[in-house]
Chain A
């Protein structure tokens, strides 16, 4: 599924969305959609049959943590892999994200290798489940 995986990238900064999109394309993923916060992402997720969600945390409107909780609370979306890609680095935030069911957590600034490792690890866990 990985090469044809449909991915939603959510970040309020368009530069970061472009960076992530380009990196994903280098990794072989081509079906990538963008959203600028949780409020625009959630309807897309509910309508779009996405396989993977990569989201920032600190966004105006609906923050990434609330988007994660909304995804986990949705019967159809609940098991979707969610990778948090954020500059938020407080210990209590990481624990909160883990408790909310985040699949992976990458701190900004990040490297292409780290992004690939986390995506691969999440997909491996999903395949093994």
Chain B
């Protein structure tokens, strides 16, 4: 049976009764036929309405269970702001530390180069025999070599400190990785919220991810952040040494 035939079979008798009641100006018969027509159409809609309601309730329940909106909005997003603020602080400190060391090294190199140039100039002007006879030459050369040795040590130390200052990238990298993971979870939650708000067919909504498990400290939880540090976190190498010593001595 075609859709048109089905429509005709179901509704033609009622429409004819409506038409007849209109022609006869019969108010009671018209209302009766109209109520039956409305009831018939509502009966068609009810199963679909029920299906949509149940589907929406299920989607909301799933959403509440799986998407940790309370935790995300109340705790983890504010924490992420603190983590990123700490990243800014660490990168700022590392950049300034490196620039300080570059600025301290520059004059040492400049002075060595300047004195070397003066010695070369003197060497070129007088020649080695005349310079060797000049009483100032040995003292001046020795002083230059001693200063060069000391300055080379200082520059070497500055280079080591610059090397260590780059360690910020490891620490900040670990923090940013954690925030990237949080942003991914937020993106997923927002996508679900938008789909629910648009009344999308929940059967076609993308599958929700399982909620993120609590971080397992055995796999590593990353650097401690000032203001967010775990209650049992140790903060200095001395504390760790003391803890390991007490453990080694059975304390």
A89 vs B237: C-alpha distance when bound (angstroms): 10
Chain B positions within 8 Å of A19 at CB level? 163-164, 166-167
Task: Tell whether A58 pairs with B171 under 8 Å between CB atoms, given A98-B247, A106-B237.
Answer: no
A83 vs B84: C-alpha distance when bound (angstroms): 29
Per-residue A-contact encoding for B204-223, CB less than 8 Å = 1, 0 else = 00000000000001111111
B167 in contact with A58 (CB, 8 Å):
no
Is B23's beta carbon under 8 Å from chain A? no
Is B248's beta carbon under 8 Å from chain A? yes
Question: Shortest CB–CB separation between residue B2 and chain A, in angstroms?
Answer: 61
Query: Which B residues between 181 and 240 are near A, CB-CB below 8 angstroms?
Result: 217-224, 230, 232-237, 240
Per-residue A-contact encoding for B147-176, CB less than 8 Å = 1, 0 else = 000000000000010011011111101100
Interface size class of A (residues with CB under 8 A): 35 or more
Is B243's beta carbon under 8 Å from chain A? yes
Is B244's beta carbon under 8 Å from chain A? yes
Q: In the complex, which of the residues A15, A26, A66, A92 contacts B160, with contact meaning CB atoms closer than 8 Å?
A: A26
A95 in contact with B174 (CB, 8 Å):
no
Is A59's beta carbon under 8 Å from chain B? yes
Q: In the complex, which of the residues B160, B240, B247 contacts A112, with contact meaning CB atoms closer than 8 Å?
A: B160
Is A57's beta carbon under 8 Å from chain B? yes
Chain A positions within 8 Å of B230 at CB level? 90
Query: Which A residues between 56 and 106 are near B, CB-CB below 8 angstroms?
Result: 57-59, 63-66, 86-96, 98-99, 104-106
A112 in contact with B164 (CB, 8 Å):
yes
A60 vs B248: C-alpha distance when bound (angstroms): 30
Q: In the complex, which of the residues A11, A59, A66, A95 contacts B243, with contact meaning CB atoms closer than 8 Å?
A: A95
Query: Which one of B170, B222, B232, B248 has the greatest number of beta carbons of chain A within 10 Å?
Result: B170
Chain A residue with the shortest CB-CB distance to B90: A109
Chain B positions within 8 Å of A23 at CB level? 160, 163-164
A107 vs B247: C-alpha distance when bound (angstroms): 17
A66 vs B230: C-alpha distance when bound (angstroms): 22
Task: Tell whether A15 pairs with B170 under 8 Å between CB atoms, given A89-B233, A108-B223, A109-B164.
Answer: yes
Question: Shortest CB–CB separation between residue A66 and chain B, in angstroms?
Answer: 8
Nearest 8 pairs of A and B residues by beta carbon: A58-B220, A87-B223, A91-B232, A16-B170, A13-B170, A15-B169, A98-B247, A89-B233
- Chain A positions within 8 Å of B, measured between CB atoms, are 11, 13, 15-16, 18-19, 22-23, 26, 57-59, 63-66, 86-96, 98-99, 104-112, 114
